Amino acid sequence: MKINIDNKSYEVANDSTILEVCKLLNIDIPTLCYDERLTPHSACRMCLVEVEGAKNLVTSCSTRVRDGMRVFTNNEKVRSARREVLDLLLSNHPMECLNCEKSGRCKLQNYAYEYDLVDGTFKGETRKGEIDSSNPFYIYDPEKCILCGLCVRVCDELQCSHAIGFEDRGFDTIVATPFREGLINSECVSCGNCVSVCPVGALVPKSLEKFRHWETKEVRTTCSYCGVGCQIDLKVKDDKVLGAQPAFDGVNQGLLCVKGKFAYKFISHPDRLKTPLIKKNGEFVEASWEEAYRLIRQKATNIKEESGADSFAGLTSARCTNEDNYLFQKLFRAVIGTNNVDHCARL
Amino acid sequence: MTNTIKEVQNSECMFIIGSNTTENHPVIGAMMKQAKDKGAKLIVADPRRIELSNYADVYMQIEPGTNIALLNGMMNVIVEKKLYDKKYIDDRTENFEELVELVKEYTPERVAKICGINEEDIIKAATIYAKANSAGIYYAMGITQHSTGTHGVMSISNLALMCGNVGKEFGGVNPLRGQNNVQGACDMGGLPADLPGYQKVFKEEVVEKFEKAWGSTLSTKVGLTIPEILDGCEDDSIRFLYIMGENPMVSDPDINHVKKALTNVDFLVVQDIFLTETAQLADVILPASSFAEKDGTFTNTERRVQRVRKAIEPIGQSKPDWQIIMEIMNTLGYKKKYLNSSSIMEEIASVTPQYGGISYKRLEADPMGLQWPCLDENHPGTPILHKEAIARGRGLFMPCEYVKSAELPDKEYPFIFTTGRILYHYHTRSMTGRVEGLNILAPSSYVEINEITARKMDIKDGDLVKLSSRRGEIETTAKVTDIIDEEVLFMPFHYAEGAANYLTNTSLDAISKIPELKVAAVKMEKAKKIEEAL
């Protein structure tokens, strides 16, 4: 079917929403509660667009295209409505950007900048609530929450843990666990998939390290725990891993588990082995690589002469890369001369 | 997996047996729950009432070690009700008659007794599975870690073939592999009879090819498996042992035996990122870099080869594993040098048919990586195996009788002891044990005890209990629960303190040499409190 967006005509698939079409066409529409994996929620009202002939502005995330539709995504009427929406959100939001960990990655902050808002203009009462810090890995701050519902819907529709939901009504609404017993006493499995989608600073990892998002780089890699092979972006500052974000274009489709999301701190743990160690009189003594290799060469040469190649054995590792494993078995087969190579596949 | 992870979400029917998916493959577990929400049928068989069983259309709480009886029982129902896919069987398989003959004996009535479940549930499960247009079977170590593990896998394959589910979207035989690169380590020849790509070490043409590629003479003698290597360490036939990234002092059955072996071997090299329980026994420890400090590839459970990318510099003087191995090769006189991991992949592709078309260049181009077999640089990879035809020509039914576990409960050791993993730790905890939050959520070793058993023995939740088997004894904390049968005890094997593997049985599957970690006989007593012991 044919539709017209911002005075240009396009041929589009007929089961799409206006937002989906615009995404494909690289037409930018702001969103706070939209996630392509979830059913549209129409809560945040940021994606409002004007459809010719419609009585009101419509939410583009939940309105399907129709043949001959004329859509305006960025005219003054639309922009002013979005500014109003942002004004309402900011009026009920603590202006703590200077100290907020989300600063630089906060969609609310970015849209406030884009739509030229410094503060909310509706002065009066703001929502109060206590921070839930009962989970060891992340906190929920109801005062920063914009009630977009992404966390609730990810927990319901994708993680299917149903640990959190909306509590109370109207102005007092917050995201909470049943009977407000706290995250640690809920069905929460600490996957952090809610944290990964929160557009503001309401759900953030507990972190001892201070960093600003713009100081970090992200490196795409494969999670090193189970065999699912989730793709993650490791957040790095000053040669240290400070966080992990699920990739949306990997097998995991934007999901992770507690280990992939939060269990990266072993990487820079002080217990890491930092030099080769040689046992002398029952005690480990630090050694250089050359000393370690020399000892291995001596032992290998002697044992091979005395007992032959089949007195050697090696356990390679399901934790290491293909390249590591390939070379390990090659060392035993091509250099030492035995097929005594196995690994923990059965454990 | 014969099929892909992506298919799980849109499954019509899933049969989960011997896999606690939501804890051990959490993202796949979440996708299974998504599929269920969308209307998929779910069948679960497991000795513990795991999370997935709460959503199941049929849940069968089978006694540990009775998988094959259950699978044969389901096939019996499918044969009796003629629910099998006759056309598929005729066109694509062989030996069906022998299977029919064998499963005749496995009536639901008999199987229900063996497995300790209801007859009706077996019939219901078989009917749901067979009536689905396509149904996927998902399993893990609950199937394989038995003295009949290989037969367990064959029985799964029989069931899938019989209903035409091999080579079909949303179907398949899908082992969920536990370690990030266990698939890759097998693919790369980390096995005593297999060169890279499962090319056999005893085949002349294979050996010739590798001798030419590697420029050295190769042994054609099949090597030893881990249990045989450990025995060799004890009887001095193995004198030099090099362990990379593995911690048998926690992960392997009968730790007392492992310790004897590793203490006795002449020279032990351990390469790891931490001073593990195994590294402590080494003569030389080589510090390796973690996954965040190196480049490479992992192959996931659906055969997808994906990039690992260096995010930070190696910690201390540690080096990427491949570099350490290369330097040892060089010091032992093999002169080949690799400048980077990419050049190793080039060599892998040149000798491994399944990886023939895999290169870093292609892996960079597509964030989804490539699924092997990927035969050449233009091959798109293979999401679903056996799609056009069964790889060996015809799918072969391998009828397997149910055989009891090697060690059964008796008067002295009355409980069936089974082990597994939990969500909050990984394998031997060398990594996760150093993450504070995980230790808050799952601080220490425990044993799950049925509430009726606990009451009979006057054991309360949190009490210290002593468990012993013919191989060892440990003390651990009681976790009283209703998700496990009265005569079964479950322990996570992650913890070095109160390690489950002091109790487990070293009895092996004759074909794959996998140890029977899922069934051992133990006894349980209330442990004396410290003041009483004094």
Whole-Å CA distances, B51 to A17, B6, B27, B34, B404? 36, 21, 14, 14, 27
Residues 70-109 of A with CB under 8 A from B: none
pLDDT band at A319 (very low <50, low <70, confident <90, very high): very high
Tell me what the mean pLDDT of segment B101-129 comes to: 98
pLDDT value of residue A9: 96
- pLDDT tens, residue by residue, A58-86: 999 999 999 999 999 999 999 999 999 99
The CATH number of A97-104+116-262, from 3.90.1150.10, 3.30.1950.10, 3.30.70.20, 3.40.50.720, is 3.30.70.20
Contact call for residues B40 and B162 (beta carbons, < 8 A): no
Token pair of A234, please? 């490791």
Polymer length in residues for chain B: 534
For residue A63, the SS3 value is coil
pLDDT band at A41 (very low <50, low <70, confident <90, very high): very high
Residue B270 CA to residue B248 CA, distance in Å, equals 11
Contact B512 A346 (CB under 8 A): yes
Contact A255 B30 (CB under 8 A): yes
The answer to whether residue A285 neighbours chain B at the CB level (below 8 Å) is: no
Query: Mind telling me how many Å the CA of B530 is from chain A's nearest CA?
Result: 31
Contact A325 B185 (CB under 8 A): yes
Query: Mind telling me how many Å the CA of A71 is from chain B's nearest CA?
Result: 33
Strand B296-299 with B284-287, pairing: unpaired
Residue A26 CA to residue B129 CA, distance in Å, equals 44
Contact list, B229 vs chain A (CB under 8 Å): 313, 315, 340, 342
* Res. B528: pLDDT tops 90: no
Q: In percent, how much of chain A has pLDDT > 70?
A: 100
The CATH code of the domain at A2-89 is: 3.10.20.740
pLDDT value of residue B510: 92
* Res. A191: pLDDT tops 70: yes
pLDDT value of residue B531: 57
Listed in sequence order, the residues at least 6 apart from A112 whose beta carbon sits closer than 8 Å to its beta carbon are A86, A90, A118
pLDDT value of residue A69: 96
Tell me what the mean pLDDT of segment B153-163 comes to: 98
* Res. B532: pLDDT tops 80: no
pLDDT band at B530 (very low <50, low <70, confident <90, very high): low
Q: Which residues pair with B479 in a beta bridge?
A: B448
pLDDT value of residue A110: 97
pLDDT value of residue B209: 97
Q: How does DSSP classify residue B523?
A: E
Query: Mind telling me how many Å the CA of A148 is from chain B's nearest CA?
Result: 21
Contact B185 A320 (CB under 8 A): yes
- pLDDT tens, residue by residue, B134-151: 999 999 999 999 999 999
Listed in sequence order, the residues at least 6 apart from B291 whose beta carbon sits closer than 8 Å to its beta carbon are A221, A222, A224, A321, B180, B308
Best A217, A324, A333 residue to mutate vs chain B (most B CBs within 10 Å): A324
Query: Mind telling me how many Å the CA of A208 is from chain B's nearest CA?
Result: 12
Report which of B39, B35, B12, B11 is spatially closest to residue B22, judged by C-alpha positions.
B35
Q: Is the pTM of this model over 0.90?
A: yes
pLDDT value of residue A15: 86
Best A36, A189, A222, A253 residue to mutate vs chain B (most B CBs within 10 Å): A222
Tell me what the mean pLDDT of segment A169-188 comes to: 94
Token pair of A197, please? 């989608």
Residue B505 CA to residue B503 CA, distance in Å, equals 7
All structural domains of chain B, each given as residue ranges with its CATH number in brackets, are: 5-176 (3.40.228.10), 182-371 (3.40.50.740), 415-533 (2.40.40.20)
For residue A214, the SS3 value is helix
Report which of A309, A291, A289, A287 is spatially closest to residue A300, judged by C-alpha positions.
A309
pLDDT value of residue B533: 53
Contact list, A307 vs chain B (CB under 8 Å): 239
Report which of B141, B153, B142 is spatially closest to residue B177, judged by C-alpha positions.
B141
Tell me what the mean pLDDT of segment A304-316 comes to: 97
Find how far residue B168's CA is from the centre of its chain: 23
Which of the pair, A227 or A347, is modelled with greater confidence?
Answer: A227
The answer to whether residue A182 neighbours chain B at the CB level (below 8 Å) is: no
Residue B268 CA to residue B291 CA, distance in Å, equals 24
Contact call for residues B241 and B267 (beta carbons, < 8 A): yes
pLDDT band at B534 (very low <50, low <70, confident <90, very high): low
- pLDDT tens, residue by residue, B56-97: 999 999 999 999 999 999 999 999 999 999 999 999 999 999
Question: Could you say which of B177, B238, B322 has the minimum Cβ distance to residue A324?
Answer: B322
Query: Mind telling me how many Å the CA of B130 is from chain A's nearest CA?
Result: 27
Report which of B189, B182, B223, B190 is spatially closest to residue B206, judged by C-alpha positions.
B189
Tell me what the mean pLDDT of segment B264-293 comes to: 98
* Res. A158: pLDDT tops 60: yes
For residue B393, the SS3 value is strand
Tell me what the mean pLDDT of segment A202-226 comes to: 94
pLDDT value of residue A173: 93
Query: Mind telling me how many Å the CA of B425 is from chain A's nearest CA?
Result: 8
Whole-Å CA distances, A181 to A134, A151, A167, A191, B193? 10, 18, 12, 19, 55
| Mean pLDDT for chain B overall | 96
Best B32, B150, B242 residue to mutate vs chain A (most A CBs within 10 Å): B242
Question: Could you say which of B193, B332, B438 has the minimum Cβ distance to residue A300?
Answer: B332
pLDDT value of residue B26: 98
Task: Parse chain A into domains and list their residue ranges.
Answer: 2-89, 97-104+116-262, 273-307, 308-347
